[in-house]
Structure 1
Amino acid sequence: MDALHHGGPATQSTRQQLRQQIRLQRQALTPHQQEQASKAVLARFTQLKTIRDARHIAIYLSNDGELDTGPLIDWIWRQGKNVYLPVLHPFSKGHLLFLHYRPDSPMRCNRYGIAEPALDVRLVKPVHELDIVCTPLVAFDDQGQRLGMGGGYYDRTLSQWHQSGLGPQPLGLAHDCQQVRHLPSEAWDVPLPAILTPSAYHHW
């Protein structure tokens, strides 16, 4: 896309308003709605061939009203597959590391107040060795465009896959209320090839 469609203050302001609006909708879901949504996504998740074939799956711990990934993580463990969680890179700003995660992993809170495994270089899995990266998002549209929290962490993580098709397959996870008709995009945004919600498996 040309520069006219990207990056202006109006685009950033619209994205910020959307972030606020969708986060409020997500946070307003009742515990029962959250539980039903997570069960519905788990049922779809376990049927995906890409998930069944995968050995190394990166996922994230939910916060801020995100779809509860706890049941997905438990299922992955029960299948004997490996789970990896994102950790903020200690000195490469805006980048993530992925650490092997087990039920007994020592955890700490990062600067955003999100729990992550305590950094141990022996547990780091290079991104290109992962099979799937389950990606959080604030909103998504009919073309698979993803709106994150604005830090660009996952856009950087997935940029090689986006450019060359190499590396782990991204899979967005979201509530149905996070879908919008059209997202204003930035040049660096990485659209997702597939997004799983309680009511649908969207793929492009």
Structure 2
Amino acid sequence: MANSISILLVEDEQSLGSIIAENLGAAGFQVTHVMSGEQALELLKKNEFTLLIFDVMMPGIDGFELARTVRQSDQTVPIIFLTSKTMPQDVVEGFESGGNDYLRKPFAMQELVIRIKVLVSEGRLLKKDTTPAKVSIGQYQFDSVKQQLIFNLRVQTLTAREAELLWLLYKNHQQLSSKKTILEAIWGDDNFFNSRTLDVFITKLRKLLQEDPGVQIINVRGMGYKLVW
């Protein structure tokens, strides 16, 4: 699978970017490394990539702003942030700007490789295996293949991970899905950081579903979540 994955790496530290690109290339990925958000946007106008990796703290267009710009035209390509910013509000901003994963510096290259493979697999499996494609959630229509929520003809496009989480909750609707089950199914690990990330995604899904007051994602404290309508 790796040699079919094309990656755009945006890292303004040349030495670090070269090391990351070299290691990802050794793992079988096709990597293009640029050093600014401006260069990245020019490349994205002409090329498609399987996955994007953005450093957060860059001069000019930073990683979060770059992600927001990308999401205006592409809601599905996975985005991983690399950053030394570790405050909870930074993590929240990362996901709200359109990121799918958030890796703190310094990190092990093996961990980055695993996260890339997981995100790409999630996107492919979601498109291939979710049948039926369109289901009802209260007054919403949820198209799991196109990753869209439709309410009164208004279409909202979800990220791959948002769609996967909503699909999991839908399949178990009216029943409790434990945090451990959700985290292991979607993130592969139920550690504290992933648990906080799940909370962010639940908040985002609640906002997306707020047009129908009959649809709720209930938090069963200390246990998990339940989608009801």
Higher helix share goes to which structure? 2
Instruction: Please identify the structure whose Cα radius of gyration is greater.
Output: 2
Query: Normalised by the size of structure 1, how large is the TM-score?
Result: 0.29
Q: Which has the higher contact order (CA 8 A, sep 6+)?
A: 1
Query: Normalised by the size of structure 2, how large is the TM-score?
Result: 0.26
